[in-house]
């Protein structure tokens, strides 16, 4: 995956996704590798500006990512039925961005290992639907890809994930996602980032993590 600085060129499309879906642990690992490669390309830039279309800075968005991925790990381990876990993880505010990206890799690895070790019948609370390991993996991939998009757009880097990441996430978390559009464009629409032809940008959104 090559990331090149640009402010206007749309990323070249990835090859079509394969007919079969890889295990969620493999998809999480692919998301981590692809997103981190993109983020490292901009690690020497100024991350104090706002991430694309967010109130957070790029650095705060990175902190949010680490917190969210660790939180999903904690939910899968503790399996509460009515609340978030009480463990919160954060990145060292004094550490340089490349070191913080290593922290994000650690958070993703912890979630991947926990997904691998969680029984299929296990369930844990989430405000957007009690979910299983596959659901939390899909949530993690959503967080990684859409926030990498937010940051790389702000840093004028052209990037998009492979379709094999977006397609299973849409199938798992967004049962009412519109058809006829590219998988990542559809995910960006579902998460309120962009409009699609005939569909305005969403002001409010959430996924459905419940097991179906």
210 lies in some domain? no
DSSP 8-state code for residue 5: E
Each residue's pLDDT tens digit, 3-12 = 333 333 333 3
Over residues 125-143, the mean pLDDT reads 97
Report the CATH number at residue 101: 1.20.120
Q: What range defines the domain where residue 57 resides?
A: 31-190
Helix and strand numbers (H, E) in the chain are: 6, 2
Compute the distance between CA of residue 50 and CA of residue 66 in angstroms, rounded to an integer. Answer: 18
In the chain, which ranges are continuous DSSP H helix? Answer: 24-41, 58-78, 97-117, 133-154, 163-173, 183-190
- Check pLDDT > 90 for residue 20: no
112 lies in some domain? yes
Each residue's pLDDT tens digit, 53-64 = 899 999 999 999
146 lies in some domain? yes
203 lies in some domain? no
20 lies in some domain? no
197 lies in some domain? no
Which one, of 79, 85, 82, lies nearest residue 121 by Cα? 79
65 lies in some domain? yes
| Band (17; pLDDT cuts 50, 70, 90) | very low
* Cβ atoms within 10 Å, residue 170: 21
Mean pLDDT (the chain, rounded):
90
Phi then psi dihedrals of residue 70, to 5 deg: -65, -35
pTM score over 0.85: yes
41 lies in some domain? yes
**Structural domain count, the chain:** 1
């Amino acid at each position: 995956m090559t990331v090149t600085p640009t402010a206007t060129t749309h990323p070249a499309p990835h090859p079509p996704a394969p007919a079969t879906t890889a295990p969620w642990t493999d998809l999480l690992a692919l998301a981590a590798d692809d997103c981190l490669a993109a983020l490292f390309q901009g690690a020497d830039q100024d991350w104090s500006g706002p991430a694309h279309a967010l109130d957070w800075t790029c650095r705060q968005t990175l902190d949010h990512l680490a917190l969210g991925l660790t939180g999903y790990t904690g939910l899968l381990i503790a399996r509460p039925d009515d609340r978030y876990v009480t463990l919160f993880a954060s990145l060292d505010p004094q550490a340089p961005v490349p070191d913080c990206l290593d922290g994000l890799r650690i958070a993703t690895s912890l979630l991947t290992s926990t997904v691998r070790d969680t029984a299929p019948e296990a369930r844990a609370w989430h405000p957007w639907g009690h979910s299983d390991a596959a659901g939390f993996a899909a949530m993690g991939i959503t967080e990684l890809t859409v926030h990498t998009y937010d940051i790389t757009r702000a840093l004028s880097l052209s990037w998009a994930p492979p379709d094999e990441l977006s397609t299973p996430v849409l199938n798992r978390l967004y049962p009412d996602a519109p058809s006829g559009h590219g998988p990542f464009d559809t995910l960006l629409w579902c998460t309120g980032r962009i409009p699609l032809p005939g569909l305005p940008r969403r002001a409010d959104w959430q996924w459905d993590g419940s097991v179906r």
